[in-house]
Structure 1
Amino acid sequence: MGRRAPVRVAIIGAGLGGIAAAVKLRKRATASVVIYEQSAGVGGTWFDNRYPGCEVDVHSHAYSFSFLKYDWPRTHATQPELLAYAEHVVERFGLAPLLRLNTRVTGLVWEESTGTYTLSTEHGDRAEFDVVISALGLLNVPRYPEWPGLETFAGPCFHTSRWEEHDLTGKSVAVVGTGSTAVQIVPAIAPAAARVRVFQREPGWIEPKHEREFTARERWVFRNVPLAQRLNRARIFHQGNRRFKGYDVTSGRQRRMRAVCEGFIGAAIADPATRAAVTPQYPWGCKRPVISSTFYPALNRDNVELVAHAVDHVTPTGVVDATGRSHDVDVLILSTGFQPTRFLASIDVKGRDGRSIHDAWRERASAFMGITVPGFPNFFILYGPNTNGGVSIIAQLERQAEVVVGAVRRLARAGKRASIDTSPSAARRFVAWIDRRMGRDASAMNAGCHNYYHDPAGHNVTQWPGGHLAYALATRLLARFGLRTRT
């Protein structure tokens, strides 16, 4: 017997993952939806990150939803443009009434007798839902370094994801890190600062971004020719799937990717010592490749210095590197990354028999297709373990949202108190397959550099071992066979 009322769905997070889930649920399922967001607006990482130079490193036509054509002004969108895009999608699909902003979800408890979750918020409110979707994202818990003396620094000191507005004109600034965020910040602040020191623990492979404004003619074509934007998107995904072959260190694609990066270093950096310092000694793809056209040229500026050493400790007036050299600075900017292996760190989820999901993940974080965990019925994760990658995370999120929609439709047909749980054997087989794919000796991800892929025990818990096409096929053909309906 079918349900008399729509399936009640809570979405935690109003970033692009939560927005995708809400749109697809409203279009394809009979559900009442509430979206909880801890920030004051939608957009997720593009609401939280507002540092100078912030923009995406994936082409705009790939880093956007397949179900909505959009008039992008440039090949790679800036943070304000991405935030405007998220707000546009919310308005276009009427999601605003579903939002509960400035509301952090703190806990979920499964009630077996009712087949529902009790959701708790920081404000002490409680609500009951049939289905809960976590769309908290992957890169949202900042990693703060444990340098001795950090708390004694007398000047402004902050993490890039918690950017503080300070007038850097005439200031000596230290930027610690050379990942995707730092390479955007350094060129943006260098013209104003008196001096910028960039502390590099380990170099990363950087590729030219080739970003630019679309011409007026290109924008007209993408707006008015029905298939133009879709065909360009398909081209980008095709190139991305080919690019993934470079993660095999024995492949010709690996050699070509290294040659591109080495050629970029040679052409963009004037000083031979700096060229040597930024050239990694590990394969392309061991770290997440960085895409930037402006960072290397910024290192040629007289007021920018690359310090090719890790930070050892901090003093009230500066930073001391691993060689013992002291650097006096006025402002300390921490581009020290996030804690991507700490999934659902901000929320306590209790499933069957009161078991916490963090207890289930004590040895490692894992989920079937990166979406569901055995023993946690009617609970779905977007951007979960081993789903990062695949050309564009937006496409990955769409596929995950479609799995959720299919499950909600099944619940609607199954009747009140029905639940969908994950087959433990299917989950084990999926994790074993991930480990076989990730554990290959020829994988660049295992080449020994410092990357964010692995948990403390050495498991690769963040990356999807293929392109987006493989994930799309897997979620479409295999996901339903690992999910069991119980009435």
Structure 2
Amino acid sequence: MLRRLLRRRREDPAVAVIGAGFAGIGMAVRLRKAGFDRVTLLDKAGGPGGTWWHNTYAGAEVDTPSVLYSYSWMPWKWSRTHVRQAELQAYLAAVLERFGLADKVRYNVEVKTVQWHEDRQDYTLHSGDGAEIMRAKYVVSAVGLLSDPQLPNLPGIDTFGGPLFHTAKWDSGFDPEGKRIGVVGSGSTAAQVVPTLAGQAKQVVMFQREPGWMVPKMARPYTDVERAALDSRLAQKAIRWRQIYQRDRGQLGGGVWRPGTPQNTGAEAAARGYIERSLAGRPDLIEAVTPRYPYGGKRPIITDDFYPALLLDNVKLVTEAVREVTETGVVDGAGAEHELDALVMATGFKANFLSTFDVTGRTGRSIHDYWAGDERAFLGIMVPEFPNFFIMYGPNTNGGTIVTNLELQASYIASAISRVERARASSVEVREWAADLYDRSVQKMLVGTAFQYENNYYRSESGRIATQWPDGVMIYGALTKALRGPCLRVESKLGACAPAPEKEEVATP
């Protein structure tokens, strides 16, 4: 409260947060708690939720327990152990309302460029047509890692005569009843889509390029007694910390991700047992869905419904990728033709950081040129040459309990901004030596992990692991607390009492 009162003596800095999903909304709340009121969230969607606004496909739900897939500071009376898309979107809308942030969001605004002005010590954000969206002293990217849909460039894809769409752009008017539907992809999304469509479609044909390790989700509705218990903040806190501890115990030192360790061996044995129990009596299916790579080489798929769906008469598994699309169906890699009425692309997302916009830093170089196809960032949050710019869910932060990671990142960013404002400075930037040392340390931790498997989305263009965090959330949290002071350079390039930009120039809503 004292910080807020002192800061009111001068105008708050403008902060632009790009994205209104879990990362962006959590960031806005954290900034509000730190006393910063001139926060604007920008999102290309028509409402809040980020990935949970766009992914409305049949069967969309989390594969992390609901208590963990929510903010620690805003528990919720969830309906299920693993909640579905609509309930998550409603939760995020409720967060905005509770913290008075609903009028701070500008929807249907797509940021394409973010440009630093060294003379003004602030950024200008532009849309795709070059129009200025706003100016801001600080910019936070909260667009996530897996948010830009990836549609395969298949020969003939434009010739298909029926409905064809990506799961992240689900056709709400699509009726699967009585149709022969092809599902291209075999990851987490396909594992949710296939069982749901199977209950309505005449036939579902899934094209699997490579199987993935699967583990049971054990999802179910909460009982009335359990829902009543969720009214207790103390109970939710206890459940949350128990689940974090259980996850961290397996991930400590990257154990579960390192082939040959007891944790990894045990996880793979459990996954094999799940296959054999679920598909008993079908050695053909057991052979088809058992991966040939170590557990953790690709993102494990958490599902209760997929293996049982494969046993249904109207579900067919094709262990070949799609080679080409025709007017009436597809041709698989073995040359077999499959007649279909509709095609659903469960082909994932572009695993490139900041794939939807570009940032120009103080040297005039874009962040993509700086990375040169080799994305890296200090704590996954800050990049040298890019003052006052922060990334949430950035390089080498994927894995573990993601919402907890986002809370840690939001705290770090709010602390960095507060440090600049207390010093009446104009910018904060990570020091090059700190970023290099941190990156080398993380890459050393990744050596020997299953993430090194070549056929996954974890690698950058150079082949280094750019997406994954190799340890538990507690270690990451400790680093976000410890790596502050000397790792960051706070500078005053406009004078100690330089005025902030006029409000109308910032164009906050």
TM exceeding 0.5? yes
Provide Cα deviations, 1:224-282, integer angstroms capped at 9, x if missing partner: 3x421111111111111123221111111112111211111111124210111001111
Distance 1:67 1:337 in 2: 31
Give the alignment partner of residue 404 of structure 1, picking from 413, 419, 438. Answer: 413
Is 1:348 the counterpart of 2:358 in the alignment?
yes
Q: 1:81 matched to which residue of 2?
A: 87
Q: 1:176 matched to which residue of 2?
A: 184
Mapped contact 2:373–2:460 kept (Cα < 8 A): no
SS in 1 for 2:146: coil
Mapped contact 1:56–1:76 kept (Cα < 8 A): yes
Deviation at 1:22, TM superposition (A): 0.4
Provide Cα deviations, 1:380-399, integer angstroms capped at 9, x if missing partner: 01111111112x21111111
Is 1:281 the counterpart of 2:292 in the alignment?
yes
Mapped contact 2:298–2:453 kept (Cα < 8 A): no
Deviation at 1:44, TM superposition (A): 0.2
Provide Cα deviations, 1:323-343, integer angstroms capped at 9, x if missing partner: 111111111111111111x21
Q: 2:382 matched to which residue of 1?
A: 372
Is 1:112 the counterpart of 2:118 in the alignment?
yes
Provide Cα deviations, 1:332-368, integer angstroms capped at 9, x if missing partner: 111111111x211221211113211111011411111
Is 1:322 the counterpart of 2:333 in the alignment?
yes
Give the alignment partner of residue 48 of structure 2, picking from 42, 50, 54. Answer: 42
Distance 1:30 1:147 in 2: 48
Using the size of structure 2 for normalisation, the TM-score is 0.92
Distance 1:257 1:16 in 2: 29
Distance 2:180 2:464 in 1: 40
Mapped contact 1:368–1:482 kept (Cα < 8 A): no
Give the alignment partner of residue 301 of structure 2, picking from 277, 290, 300. Answer: 290
Q: 1:242 matched to which residue of 2?
A: 249
Deviation at 1:122, TM superposition (A): 4.5
Paired residue type of 1:471: Y
Distance 2:248 2:417 in 1: 31
Q: 1:478 matched to which residue of 2?
A: 483
Runs of 5+ in structure 2 lacking a partner? Answer: 1-5, 493-509
Distance 2:109 2:273 in 1: 48
Give the alignment partner of residue 165 of structure 2, picking from 151, 158, 177. Answer: 158
Mapped contact 2:374–2:461 kept (Cα < 8 A): no
Distance 1:444 1:261 in 2: 15
Is 1:92 the counterpart of 2:98 in the alignment?
yes
Deviation at 1:31, TM superposition (A): 4.2
Give the alignment partner of residue 61 of structure 1, picking from 54, 67, 80. Answer: 67
Mapped contact 1:29–1:405 kept (Cα < 8 A): no
Distance 2:37 2:371 in 1: 30
Provide Cα deviations, 1:434-468, integer angstroms capped at 9, x if missing partner: 2111122xx111134x2111123211111111110
Deviation at 1:407, TM superposition (A): 1.1
SS in 1 for 2:411: helix
Q: Could you say if the C-alpha distance between residues 389 and 479 of structure 1 is closer, same or farther in structure 2, counting changes exceeding 3 Å?
A: farther
Q: 1:103 matched to which residue of 2?
A: 109
Give the alignment partner of residue 435 of structure 1, picking from 443, 464, 468. Answer: 443
Give the alignment partner of residue 457 of structure 1, picking from 453, 462, 474. Answer: 462
Distance 1:162 1:97 in 2: 26
Runs of 5+ in structure 1 lacking a partner? Answer: none
SS in 2 for 1:237: helix
SS in 1 for 2:271: helix
Is 1:145 the counterpart of 2:152 in the alignment?
yes
Distance 2:468 2:146 in 1: 13
Q: 1:20 matched to which residue of 2?
A: 26
Give the alignment partner of residue 257 of structure 1, picking from 250, 267, 272. Answer: 267
Q: 2:495 matched to which residue of 1?
A: none
Distance 1:48 1:38 in 2: 10
Deviation at 1:287, TM superposition (A): 0.4
Computed over aligned residues only, the root mean square deviation of the Cα atoms, in angstroms, reads 1.4
Pairs aligned (count) = 480
Mapped contact 2:23–2:392 kept (Cα < 8 A): yes
Is 1:194 the counterpart of 2:199 in the alignment?
no
Distance 2:246 2:311 in 1: 31
Provide Cα deviations, 1:28-68, integer angstroms capped at 9, x if missing partner: 23341111111000000000100000000000011110111
Paired residue type of 1:242: R
Mapped contact 1:24–1:402 kept (Cα < 8 A): yes
Mapped contact 1:30–1:412 kept (Cα < 8 A): no
SS in 2 for 1:353: coil
Paired residue type of 1:393: I
Q: Could you say if the C-alpha distance between residues 145 and 7 of structure 1 is closer, same or farther in structure 2, counting changes exceeding 3 Å?
A: same
Q: 2:319 matched to which residue of 1?
A: 308
SS in 2 for 1:117: strand
Using the size of structure 1 for normalisation, the TM-score is 0.96
Deviation at 1:162, TM superposition (A): 0.8
